[in-house]
Amino acid sequence: MVMKGKKGVILGVANNKSIAYGIAQACAAQGAQIAFTYLNDSLKKRVEPIAAEFGSADYVYPCDVSKPEEIKALKESLEKDLGQIDFIVHSIAFAPKEGLSGRFMDISKEAFDIAMDISVYSLIEVVRELKPLLSENSSVLTLSYYGGVKYIPNYNLMGVAKAALEMTTKYLAEDLGKDGIRVNAISAGPIKTLAAAGIGDFRFMLKWNEAHSPLKKNVTINEVGNSGMYLLSDLSSAVTGEIHYVDSGFNIMG
């Protein structure tokens, strides 16, 4: 029970296919107490029963990260209901559809700004706002993808956002290390989720990864969840600023 006594908040559960759900399962299995957030009213109906599964029916809060007042309200609610917390999971990304297929150079400034705001800046803002609640031995985790390092067909705007997210992880890790806060990212292999459905020809990406990774298989949210749990727990107490691949080894292939 390596997460026993630890409390944290997971942002980005949309349904039980979400990577964040896999992380919640792994952390709960190791004894963590988890608070959940939902993006909007239609997702609230999905997230509430999921929270109840983890004994967290009383710890479910709205948080659209594009609205600073909702992040501030989340801090107030968490402080009141949980007090200090030990971990944050940021499993959120969004890009307008025009940024996920077609010609890269045609991306509008509006789409670019939205993707960077929701998928990158939100990590900085969430960490800054929740920092007063973070214990001196805490861990922050975000989710990236290899399309932030190398060209992946159709990943386009999200690739640029993930590159920025990975560097944000490293700069935050340096900034917060002196406060005992670790910041890491998992770069997960492709998984069929709601967010993935927005990416052009995603099925091809799955097939390609399966065929060309050393382990010859795609990853599951349970596998990402277990690795996430390690990064959130004291088992990884000397690990920070790391981009940890959970991708069946795909990234090592030439």
**Taking the chain, what is the end-to-end CA distance rounded to the nearest angstrom?**
39
Whether 155 is catalytic is yes
Please identify, using beta-carbon distances, which residue of 66 and 135 lies nearer to ligand 0WD. 66
> In sequence order, what are the beta bridge partners of 141?
89, 184
Q: What is the DSSP string of 139-188?
A: EEEEEE-GGGTS--TTTHHHHHHHHHHHHHHHHHHHHHHTTTEEEEEEEE
Tell me how far apart the alpha carbons of residues 226 and 183 are, in angstroms, rounded to a whole number.
Answer: 17
2, 124, 196, 239: residue in contact with ligand 0WD (rule CB under 6 A): 196
Task: Say which of 38, 61, 146, 155 is annotated catalytic.
Answer: 155
92, 115, 130, 152: residue in contact with ligand 0WD (rule CB under 6 A): 92
Whether 38 is catalytic is no
Candidate ranges 26-34, 72-80, 139-147, 237-245; the one touching ligand 0WD (CB under 6 A)? 139-147
Q: Tell whether residue 190 is a contact of ligand 0WD (CB under 6 A).
A: yes
Please identify, using beta-carbon distances, which residue of 50 and 195 lies nearer to ligand 0WD. 195
79 burial type by CB count under 10 A (0-12 exposed, 13-18 middle, 19+ buried): middle
Q: Tell whether residue 194 is a contact of ligand 0WD (CB under 6 A).
A: yes
How many CA atoms are closer than 13 Å to the CA of 77, on its beta-carbon side?
Answer: 17
Tell me how far apart the alpha carbons of residues 99 and 108 are, in angstroms, rounded to a whole number.
Answer: 8
Would you give the binding string for ligand 0WD spanning residues 52-91, x where CB under 6 A is met? Answer: -----------xxxx------------------------x
Binding site for ligand 0WD (CB under 6 A): 12, 14, 18-20, 39, 43, 63-66, 91-94, 118, 143-145, 188, 190-191, 193-196
Catalytic amino acids? 145, 155
